[in-house]
Amino acid sequence: MAFKESILQARKLGASDLHLEAGTAQVARVRGELMPIGEPLSGQQLLLMAQELLTPEDWTSFEAQGSVDISLIVGGTRCRINAYKTIRGLALAVRLLAPTVGDLRACNLHPELKRLISVPTGLVVVSGPTGCGKSTTLAALIEELNGTRAQNIITLESPLEYVFANRRSFIRQREIPTHSPSFEQAIVDALRENPDVLVISEMRTPEVMRLTLNAAETGHLVLATMHSATCGEALSRMCMSFPPDVQGSIRAQLADCLVGVVCQRLDYLEQWQLRVPRCEMLLASSGAKGTIRTGQFGGIANVIQSGGDEGMWTFDRYQRWMEQQRDWVRSATPAPGTADREAPVRTEMVRGPLTPVAGRVTARGTGPAARRAAPTTAPQAAAAGRDTSAIVKAQPEAPEEITLDEDVDLNEIQELARQIEQRTR
């Protein structure tokens, strides 16, 4: 119960991560900054928490290796948890994942990213620093495929984070080491399982990278993630992971099978009180392939800069698009007491003055988001396989409404309405 309360408090604050350690204040990462949110927990309290969260097999791995990764739903929030040992004893690092699996639109990503999955074969790399939302972007690309193409998608994850529901595609999710002892074995097995799309949650070792490249060359669309600060650094890291005598052949193989690389960072938009990804995107143009083959990865930035007409994006150009964007999607905070099996609703932010009505939020306005949302009805959304938990309704001569299936603090809504009206004057 104490762990669940900490998760609910962190989610209420809009935190992306929660850190717990014996004898240290509970700390959450909110808008990229760490802040204390609770009193220190004793070593015994954390030990009891960990024993409740971990299975006997997980606990054995934790004792042997000093750390273990798991994922589970707590208080309506899906969490990725790393339990590890420190000088003070046991500690937990918890990543609070988005409540539902969203497509590119729901994750506030530019629709141009669809180009990465528009081809039947090749390698797509999603990169960025730790905590920048790579897993969420990868899930959004999978959900785009899931809603538009009938394909066999196999995901290899450690741990399993988002759980997908089959729509047009058939998605088989495998967790390492629960369902396979290693990524290497899982990739070899997956190639015998008739996949159209293979998803690898992270390329960590040269052998995994080699098998990933082989899979992309043999007629499959492969989506993978890795840590890097730029697209050029992602490609450089991949090639430099191999011995010098084979790097030339790896560069040639990478140039032949690459579809594109997206590198992202998270920016906080003060105006919208929202963190959204800012991306750089490289596509496999002839210039990009030539640069990769020669190993001149420092020139990738110039390729992206000059490739705007081909659909490439620099961080600066993407930021200008973000500054012009006025239609963002935000995830609602789960209500206290939400059952673990329930997923919180997702709502779309609509421009215009807000008027609080008992138990709901009414948005008045005629902006682009409102006009797009007006024709949508729950039956239409359900038929399209979309989330119907928050539907924008429109009536002639009446304000459009967003109905939230949770209690709303009217004082907070009134304050929000006042702030928005001041900004729009």
Mean pLDDT (10-residue bins), the chain, 425 residues? 86 90 92 88 90 90 91 86 92 86 90 94 95 91 95 94 92 93 95 95 93 94 95 95 95 96 93 91 96 95 95 96 90 46 37 37 38 42 43 37 50 68 59
List strand residue ranges (DSSP E) for 149-248, in order: 152-157, 170-175, 197-200, 221-227
Are 329 and 105 in contact, with CB atoms under 8 Å apart? yes
DSSP, collapsed to helix, strand or coil, labels residue 13 as coil
Same domain, 291 and 400: no
Same domain, 166 and 200: yes
List strand residue ranges (DSSP E) for 218-257, in order: 221-227
pLDDT score of 151: 95
Residue 242 inside a domain? The answer is yes
* Enclosing domain of residue 204: 111-324
pLDDT score of 90: 92
Same domain, 259 and 290: yes
Residue 259 inside a domain? The answer is yes
Same domain, 381 and 418: yes
pLDDT score of 227: 93
Which residues fall within 8 angstroms of residue 22, CB to CB, at 6 or more apart? Answer: 40, 41, 42, 43, 46, 88, 89, 90, 91
Counted domains in the chain = 3
Residue 292 inside a domain? The answer is yes
* Domain final residue, candidates 96, 121, 148: 96
pLDDT score of 3: 87
Residue 332 inside a domain? The answer is no
Same domain, 133 and 87: no
Same domain, 219 and 271: yes
pLDDT score of 74: 86
Residue 333 inside a domain? The answer is no
pLDDT score of 142: 96
Distance of CA 240 to the CA centre of its chain: 27
Burial of 33 (0-12, 13-18, 19+ CB in 10 A): exposed
Residue 222 inside a domain? The answer is yes
Same domain, 278 and 365: no
Residue 43 inside a domain? The answer is yes
Residue 103 inside a domain? The answer is no
pTM metric for this prediction = 0.73
